[in-house]
Amino acid sequence: MLRCKDIAKLLSDSLEKELPWTQRVEIRLHLMICYVCRRYWKQLRFLHNCITNYYDKKLDKDPALSQESKKRMQDKIIEEMNK
Amino acid sequence: MENKNVLSNPADWVELYGDQLLKYTVARVRHREAAEEIVQETFLAGLKAQKNFSGRSSEKTWLFGILKHKIIDHYRKKEKEQQVSTEDPFVEYFDGRGHWKKSLEKWDTNPQKALEQKEFWEVFSRCISNLPVDMEQVFQLKILDKMDSDGICEALQITSANLWVRLHRARFKMRECLEKCWFMKTG
Ligand SMILES: [Zn+2]
């Protein structure tokens, strides 16, 4: 019999890779009888979802370089070119 | 004759690619100043490597290639600065017989609602920033760069056991932070 600790690890692993069907069955049986692991699984999936969302959003932001930064970078490049 | 790409004047690079390179970097590096620094280094490295440009790829792809290396260098530098814990993250939560030490709090019946709230994302972003940097780097490589475990281990020069611990630890930490700062607050 798998304990909650094993199940929690497997659940976390299942976000990374496909588990063998024997383990999937064990997880399902355990979740039927254990509400703490059920809660953990729900929260874990939510979290996983949020993390993906968060980085997608972060990519959408358009952080342009300020004029000063551009000027500073350009000057540095030109300085190096003239060396 | 095949068509070969040629490089433009490096003095124009900032105007041509600065914003694109910065955007890519800002999503992957925690501090904006560090991101700008990396972009700057990329241009200077490009300048030095001009003669190695084969013309097979576009100038932009070539610069992005340099940038990616610079970001990985930055990650590795951060790795060295961190005291990385290798302790099994599950120990804290389970007793010797493998049972949860205490029950988990029930979150809002509909946590999906939170996703639409600006305040939630502010909290979330704070929680992420509070993670040790080595943990966030794993998320960045996984999600933004769609790297698999082997790729991440190689990029950060860590073992797969270490990666595993880090990933789970990060998830527990995020779970706790959201619970404390969001779900138990809004009630
Ligand atoms: Zn359980």
The residue among A83 and A5 whose pLDDT is bigger is: A5
Put simply, the answer to whether B18 touches A52 (Cβ < 8 Å) is: no
- A44 Cα to chain B: minimum distance (Å): 8
Whether the CB-CB separation of A52 and B140 falls below 8 Å is answered with: no
Report how far residue B145's alpha carbon sits from residue B170's, in angstroms, rounded to the nearest whole number. Answer: 18
pLDDT of residue B19: 92
Whether the CB-CB separation of B136 and A55 falls below 8 Å is answered with: no
How many structural domains does chain A have? 1
Q: What is the CATH number of domain B91-186?
A: 1.10.10.10
pLDDT tens column, B41-50: 999 999 999 8
Put simply, the answer to whether A9 touches B168 (Cβ < 8 Å) is: yes
Residue A24: which domain range? 4-81
* Nearest C-alpha in B relative to A71: B14
pLDDT tens column, A33-72: 999 999 999 999 999 999 999 988 877 766 788 899 999 9
For residue B10, give Cα distances in angstroms to A41, A76, B15, B46. Answer: 52, 11, 10, 8
> Would you kindly state where each structural domain of chain B is located, as residue ranges?
10-81, 91-186
Chain B, window 19-38: residues with a beta carbon less than 8 angstroms from a chain A beta carbon: 19, 22-23, 26-27, 32, 36
B62 at the A interface (CB within 8 A)? no
Report how far residue B121's alpha carbon sits from residue B115's, in angstroms, rounded to the nearest whole number. Answer: 7
To test the contact with chain B by mutation, choose from A14, A35, A69, A80 the residue with the greatest count of B C-beta atoms within 10 A, namely: A69
> Measured in angstroms, how far is the CA atom of residue A23 from the centroid of ligand 1?
14
Structure tokens at B181: 């700062």
> Measured in angstroms, how far is the CA atom of residue B102 from the centroid of ligand 1?
11
Residues B10-81, CATH architecture? Orthogonal Bundle (1.10)
Put simply, the answer to whether A57 touches B121 (Cβ < 8 Å) is: yes
Residues of A with CB under 8 A from a CB of B: 3-6, 8-9, 12, 16, 36-37, 39-40, 42-44, 46-47, 49-55, 57-59, 61-65, 69-70, 72-74, 76-78, 80-81
Q: Which residues contact A10 (CB under 8 A, 6 or more apart)?
A: A2, A19, A23, A26, A27
**pLDDT-wise least confident of B31-40, B82-91, B133-142:** B82-91
pLDDT greater than 80 at residue B185: no
Q: Is the pTM of this model over 0.90?
A: no
Report how far residue B155's alpha carbon sits from residue B75's, in angstroms, rounded to the nearest whole number. Answer: 8
pLDDT tens column, B36-94: 999 999 999 999 998 888 888 899 999 999 999 999 999 988 888 777 667 777 888 89
* Nearest C-alpha in B relative to A70: B14
